[in-house]
Amino acid sequence: MNLFRSEEHARRWPQFNRASEDGLGFIRLEDLVALFGTESRRHMLDADYLSAWYPRRAAERRAVLERAGKTTPFWMGTPGTP
Amino acid sequence: MADPRRLDQLFTRIMRGLVDTGRAPHYAELARALNVPLPEGRQLLLDVMQAYPIGWLHPETDYIASFPPLNNLPTQYRVSVRGEQTWFAQCGFEATSVTWLFPGETVRVQAPCLDCGEPVVIEMRDGRLVTVEPASIVGHLNWGFGPSRGKPPFL
């Protein structure tokens, strides 16, 4: 889960997984900011974050990924995992 | 499983400790802060890590290695606030979430590109990107979200 200077740079990375080719593993920075800026993320310093906010993250993440068109198992991961 | 309020308390202590100092507290410090016996403090830490599995302890220790979005173990994702580089993000993706830990501040993340070593820089303020250098920066998920978890070489 890295940031690269461009897709070309990522493809030249010696540990680049060819299965993530063809755009499968890439995400626009703006989409990444949305994915990691959902409502629950804004409460990480709240006193009840772990019990009240963290459990919401899985659904939030799915919603953002769907909006970004990333609905493959590659992005959706294990169901229910926040 | 422990009392959810206790887990919340411990979670908040860890996250606040990381934000305030750049380092995660040890369970002995956490136990003292919560006024519980040391074994109970250690068990609470284990319970929190189980409830927050996107973080992890260093293998075969009770040391917090990763507590996203921040990392206790240094990574290439160096985080600076007010000009001080005190923090590390867990990975490039979590780096975009660190902004929420520093409301009202400009959070700078700088990392070497794993291809060329040249810098990748983003600055964020209250969730908004204010600097992206170079403009062509992309995120890359190498193994898929499930399998990527806990694969340190790829974080």
pLDDT the model gives residue A80: 46
Structural tokens at position A56:
């919401």
pLDDT the model gives residue B1: 66
As a whole-number percent, the residues of chain A with pLDDT over 70 amount to 91
Q: Any residues with CB less than 8 A from the CB of B61 and at least 6 apart, and which?
A: none
Summary mean pLDDT of chain A = 90
**What tens digit of pLDDT does each residue of B4-26 get?**
999 999 999 999 999 999 999 99
Distance between CA atoms of residues B7 and B2, nearest Å: 7
| Min Cα separation B132/chain A (Å) | 9
pLDDT the model gives residue B153: 44
Q: Is the ipTM above a cut-off of 0.85? A: yes
Residue contact B100–A48, C-beta within 8 A:
no
Q: Is the pLDDT of residue A82 over 80?
A: no
Residues of chain B with C-beta less than 8 angstroms from the C-beta of A12: 115-116
Type of residue numbered B152: P
pLDDT the model gives residue B150: 47
Summary mean pLDDT of chain B = 93
| Min Cα separation A63/chain B (Å) | 15
Q: Is B86 helix (H, G, I), strand (E, B) or coil?
A: strand
Q: Is the pLDDT of residue B89 over 90?
A: yes
Q: Is the pLDDT of residue A79 over 90?
A: no
As a whole-number percent, the residues of chain B with pLDDT over 90 amount to 88
DSSP structure class, residue B139:
E
Nearest by CB: B95 against A3, A6, A45: A3
Residues of chain B with C-beta less than 8 angstroms from the C-beta of A51: 4-5, 7-8
pLDDT the model gives residue B117: 97
Over range A33-50, report the average pLDDT. 97
Closest-approach residue (CA) in chain A for B115:
A13
Residue contact B120–A5, C-beta within 8 A:
yes
Residue contact B140–A25, C-beta within 8 A:
yes
Q: Which residue has the higher pLDDT, A77 or B32?
A: B32
Closest-approach residue (CA) in chain A for B109:
A3
Q: Is the pLDDT of residue B155 over 80?
A: no
